[in-house]
């Protein structure tokens, strides 16, 4: 795998997650009366970083098919404090799934299981959505269908 592409992806993903954290994107979505509207607003607010992440992820694909997953396991910079942000970021791409990012998706599930506090319930819902239901791919469902499963 091209180390340069992986490093560029890591920078783009870190920038996206940092912007989401600084904006309190997930918290705003979870606390909103209009969850779907707030989701769309927040997605628009991180659109530049999201597009950069999508471009860097696309470098791991050829003719619409994944050549190689960028990571075997969840990268160290993803932890219980930002893993829910990662799930929302993947959902916002509308085209990439956990299986596109990681070979061993159990590492994502394990970190989601360690989330506590105000994000614990949504983390558990992401576990159910991603690993216990048959349709657990962000790319297969529309954002509002996923929000119904994990937020509403």
Other C-beta atoms within 10 Å of 29: how many? Answer: 23
Are the C-beta atoms of residues 59 and 67 closer than 8 Å to each other?
no
pLDDT, tens digit, 9 for 90 and up, residues 126-138: 999 999 876 678 9
Could you tell me the pTM of the whole model?
A: 0.94
pLDDT, tens digit, 9 for 90 and up, residues 27-55: 999 999 999 999 999 999 999 999 999 99
Which string of DSSP letters, residue by residue, matches 22-41?
A: HHTHHHHHHH-SSHHHHHHH
**Rg, Å, the chain Cα set:** 14
Are the C-beta atoms of residues 20 and 26 closer than 8 Å to each other?
yes
């Amino acid at each position: 795998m091209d180390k340069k592409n992986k490093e560029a992806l890591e920078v783009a993903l870190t920038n996206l997650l940092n912007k989401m954290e600084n904006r309190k994107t997930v918290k705003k979505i979870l606390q909103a009366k209009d969850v779907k509207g707030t989701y769309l607003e927040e997605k628009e607010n991180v659109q530049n970083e999201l597009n950069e992440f999508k471009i860097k992820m696309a470098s791991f694909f050829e003719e619409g098919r994944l050549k190689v997953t960028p990571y075997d396991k969840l990268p160290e910079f993803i932890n219980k404090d930002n893993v829910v942000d990662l799930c929302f970021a993947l959902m916002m791409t509308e085209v990439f799934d956990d299986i596109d990012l990681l070979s061993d998706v159990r590492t994502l599930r394990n970190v989601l299981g360690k989330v506590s506090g105000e994000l614990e319930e949504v983390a558990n819902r992401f576990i159910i959505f991603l690993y216990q239901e048959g349709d657990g791919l962000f790319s297969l469902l529309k954002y509002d269908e996923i929000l119904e499963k994990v937020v509403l």
